[in-house]
Each structure stands twice: as structure tokens, then as C-alpha cells.
Amino acid sequence: MSLQVTNTLSRKKEEFVPVDPDHIRFYVCGPTVYDYAHIGNARPVVVFDVLYRLLKQLYPQVTYVRNITDVDDKIIDASNQTGDDIGSITTKFADIFREDMAALNALPPDVEPRATDHIVEMTEMIECLLANEYAYEAEGHVLFSVTTMEDYGKLSRHSRDELIAGARVEVAPYKRDPADFVLWKPSTDDQPGWNSPWGRGRPGWHLECSAMSAKHLGETFDIHGGGQDLIFPHHENEIAQSVCSHNGAPFVKYWMHNGYLTVDGEKMSKSLGNFHTVHDLLDRTPGEAIRLALLSAHYRQPLDFSLRSLDEAKSALDRLYTALRAAANTDTGKADAAPVQAALEDDLNTPQAIAELHGLASALNRNPSDVDTKAALLTGGAMLGLLQQDPEDWFKQGSGDIDETEIELLIQKRVEARATKDFAESDRIRDELAAAGIVLEDGPDGTTWKRG
């Protein structure tokens, strides 16, 4: 089947017809780097990483752009609270973000532009909007005039009152219309700023993505992704800026948005004690298990996350890796993961794709010497960014108070005890290891172990 995606713009599932079949171009809104990424931030990264992997499977060239927002009022607030300079804050948390997402098996984007490297492109876009009377100056600000664009609001389909109520910037006396939004705003001496025709200042948040996507992907590109919370005002305003500064050229063909994430049935909040950063979760659970948990629901649906769901994801991966472990001595044959790919081509149906993986694992358990089934399981897993480790490494990872050398030494002592029929000592060693979270599995080829 051909790739089908749900387009937020049409509210329909559509066949994906690229602008240029030889070069797919897509953009995903990246992090604002002032703190650790939380589990909600990770969902779009993982979802659109699966899309990236699929597109690379289907098309000869793909350019995936995900930006870094390194100038923002939240970053300024973090600097004021900690006393750290803005540059060190953004560098630190951009590096941590990359490391944490890599731990979730997310591939790096082809281009990772930083907002502060694109100030020239932003000012040029503003100058174009001013020249064509889509924007105006007021008290050191430059604002986009929403009434100049007839179909403003077509992505979110909000009413006039909703457009005003949902605006990111509060109503101000210098705005011609309450829904107008900032393209450029003045900076004080202690805030980051750049010289411009409108005075020293900094860009509005919405403008950054329009300028960066245009530079790296062109005026019109295939897919723009992000969380559902970005539909309005961020993505709505991106459309307005981009279309009006490019003489009406279409901005994006397909808009894709992942659903909201809750934790234990409630909105994630530090005050509720259900706020989880990826950085902290990685101390508790392997990154692959976090990834599987994030893919367990269809990307467009809400996802209720919990520590229990992480444990369930870890157990599910244990079952998949157990099948591969049993087939460790089996070569890999012809990889036919068509059912997994078909599920993903159906609007990234990851729950179905995961079910197909479990079906392949069950078949491999029945016949561990089946080279084609093993190849299909590995290939299907790779499409989802799963099963990326050697099975032995998977089962031996984890914190724990006992290291691998000590475990192997105790297992050898247990083998010797069993050889001399000292079953009391053999049982004592097994119990000692079990207390440390180590599970032993005796088989015809000897004893293997894993962390429970």
C-alpha cells in the first residue's frame, strides 16, 4: 500500500503525494533549551523518528530538520533565576537533549538549526511582510496583522473569540487587533538582542521556525510535525508568516500532530508530583522501554503514561529479546517485514506494528532456527527503532549492586557445586543472585542470566 497520513489541515487521512518524489523534506519543532526534556517533549521526537525511518525506507532522499530554540523568554527567566549566562544554559541543555533522545534510539535530524544563527533570515522575512503591508511597527515591536490574511485560522479552525483567547502574547494597547502577534520585540540591555531596522531586539517565537524551515527546506515542503498543543497559535502563525512572505506560495502539504500525553490520568505537573524528565527516567528504565511505551498508543491519540506502563514495556521487550536470544546461533535470512511496514504506512499505526513484532517473536520461539523469521523480526524492530541491542547486552544492563564479573564468578561457583552434588550451596548461590535481582536460566548450553 502507499503511505497514508492524517493531515490536520484537512482533518482527513490522505495518500502521501510528495512535492518531489526524489527528495522528501520535513520539519519538526524542536526543544526550547532551558531545562531537561520531560516525557511529553519526547513523544513527538519518537513519533517523528519512526516517520523519518519509514520515509528513508520509501524514498531515495529525505531531509529532516528539527530546530533548537535558543532565544526565548523562558531561557531568559532561567538565566535570571540561576545566575547562569544564557549561552551556557542553552549549550548545556541542548547537549543533554541530544544525549537523552539518542538513548531513546532517536536518530539525529539531518539539519539541526539554532534560532540565534538565523537572525538575518528572520529580519529579512519581517522586512518582506512590512513591505507588503502584512505587518506593522508599534512602540518598538513589529506585529503581524491577522486581518490582512483572509484564511487565517484555517489550520486550527478556531472561532474569532478563540483566536483572541488563545493568542500567545497578551492583548496590548499598541496592537491594532487583539489577535495580532509579535514578529519582533525590543530587548533591554540585560536581555539578548540584535540590531535591526526597528531597534535592538529579538524575534518572536513563531517567526523562528518559519525562517529556519524556509532556509533549509524551501518555501514549500512536504510535512510539518509537532505536538497537538502547537496547532494554535504556533503553527497557525507559521502558516501566516510563511505564505504572506512568499507571495502566497503554499507552506506545507501535510501537517501531522501527535496527541496529548497525561501521567496517571492527569496533566503532568510538578505540583502533582507526576512530572517525569527523560533524564531521570533513564536512570530507572532502558531507553528502548521508554520508546516502546511512547509508541504503544497511536500517535494521534492521547497517551496516558505511567511508571507501570514503563515496566510493561520493559517486560514486552524482554519477550522479544528472549526470542532473539534463543536464536542467537541462527543466521539471518531474507528479511520480509511487510506486515510491520504496512502498519506504519497506514498513518504510523505503531500499535499494530508492535503486534506484528510479537507475532514474529512467537513464530521464532516455535522455531529458533528459522533464519527468515529472525531477519524479519530484526528488520521490523529497526523500522520502529527497537531491538537495537545484542540480546545478552539487553538482559545484562541495569544498575544493581552486583557487577558482571562478580555474577559470572558466582555462576561458575554454582556450576562447580552442582558438579559435586552440593545442591545446598548451588541453591544458596541462586538465592543470593535472585536477591540481587539476577535471574538464572539453566539450559542445555549452560547457564545464562539476566537482570530481573
Residue 45: closest CA among 105, 123, 121: 105
Per-residue cell: 85: 549566562
Across 317-331, average pLDDT = 94
pLDDT at 400: 58
Distance of CA 287 to the CA centre of its chain: 12
Which residue in 422, 273, 299 sits closest to 352, CA to CA? 299
**Whether the predicted pLDDT of 368 surpasses 50:** yes
Q: Is the pLDDT of residue 421 over 90?
A: no
> Contacts by 7-12 with C-beta closer than 8 Å and gap 24+?
7/253, 7/254, 7/255, 7/256, 8/155, 8/231, 8/255, 8/256, 8/257, 9/154, 9/155, 9/252, 9/254, 9/255
The pLDDT value recorded for residue 405 is 76
pLDDT at 168 over 60: no
Judged by DSSP in three states, 226 sits in strand
Strands 252-258 and 221-227, by their bridges, are parallel
Quick one: which of 297, 209, 312 has its CA closest to 259? 297
Kindly state the cell numbers that stand for 303. Answer: 497517551
Question: At 436, is the pLDDT very low, low, confident or very high (cuts 50, 70, 90)?
Answer: low
Lowest mean pLDDT among 152-161, 212-221, 254-263: 152-161
Cα–Cα distances (Å) from 135 to 45, 98, 442, in that order, read: 33, 36, 73
Q: Is the pLDDT of residue 167 over 60?
A: no
Cell of 114: 539554532
Determine the average pLDDT of the residues in 165-187. Answer: 82
Place of cell 541495569: 398
Phi, psi of 159 (to 5 degrees): -75, 170
CA distance 406 to 402: 7
Check whether 422 has a pLDDT greater than 80: no
Tell me: pLDDT of 45 over 50: yes
